[in-house]
Chains A and B, each alone.
Chain A
Amino acid sequence: KAGVTQTPRYLIKTRGQQVTLSCSPISGHRSVSWYQQTPGQGLQFLFEYFSETQRNKGNFPGRFSGRQFSNSRSEMNVSTLELGDSALYLCASSLAGRGQGSSYEQYFGPGTRLTVT
């Protein structure tokens, strides 16, 4: 099976702009989670989507949003970029379904390195 893919791998944007990142999960995985990784804050959970619905959310401002399509592909959008948004954005997919009484490991993509200047 192909792994989790993220596009683009690298991105340079200017303060105030907006950006959209894309994630394609492993085939059959319906859950997609997004994380922000920075040297200072480590890995921080942004949100999780399952069956096109946001199921879990971290503590990020409303400038960070996402969506999931019917084929489970997900996009993350950041509006009004700030210098502090420079980070590696990781996407992870898993099998985890609602009410199954269990949790499955997450499989991570290579990430999108966003630099805001």
Chain B
Amino acid sequence: AQSVTQLDSQVPVFEEAPVELRCNYSSSVSVYLFWYVQYPNQGLQLLLKYLSGSTLVKGINGFEAEFNKSQTSFHLRKPSVHISDTAEYFCAVSLYNFNKFYFGSGTKLNVKP
């Protein structure tokens, strides 16, 4: 069975500080990995994805994530956050050749001035 664990339900951080949102997954087969962001009263927006190739992937809004197969992790990072990054972030996996997504429980990023 597949599962996604986001270790932190809330992450408070000051503006311009770096941030890391953690994601670990469990799967017996190859997966694709995604990070989505959800602003209040909106749907989910894709931040970045890992399908294959380089394990460091860059996304929109200055975010990047690194796929670590041995640790089954896909942590999201940003070197300097802005107030506008305040939102909920979801890590997701989908199975190779099987269009079914599994989402983590979400991490609320609260950027303080």
Interface residues of A (CB under 8 A from B): 4, 31, 33, 35, 42-43, 45, 48, 50, 55-56, 90, 92, 94, 96, 99-111, 113
Contact = CB atoms under 8 A, between A and B. Distances in A.
A104 B100 CA distance: 10
Interface of B: prevailing SS = strand
Contacts of B46: 105-107
Contact of A33 (B32, B34, B45, B99): B99
What size tier do the contact residues of chain B reach? 20 to 34
Interface of B: 32, 34, 36, 41-46, 49, 51, 90, 94-106
Given A43-B90, A108-B43, A55 B99 contact: yes
Contacts of A103: 32, 51, 94-99
A86 to B, nearest CB: 15
Nearest to B106: A42
Given A43-B90, A103-B97, 7 more contacts: A4-B43, A33-B101, A35-B103, A43-B106, A101-B96, A102-B96, A108-B36
A45 B99 contact: no
Residue from the set A35, A103, A105 with the largest chain B CB neighbour count within 10 Å? A103
Contact of A108 (B44, B99, B100): B44
B97 A101 contact: yes
Contact of B43 (A96, A105, A110): A110
Contacts of A109: 43
A56 B94 CA distance: 12
Q: Sorted from nearest, which 3 A-B pairs have the closest CB atoms?
A: A108-B43, A96-B99, A43-B103
A100 B97 contact: yes
Nearest to A6: B43
B43 A111 contact: yes
Nearest to B104: A42
A106 B101 CA distance: 9
B42 A110 contact: yes
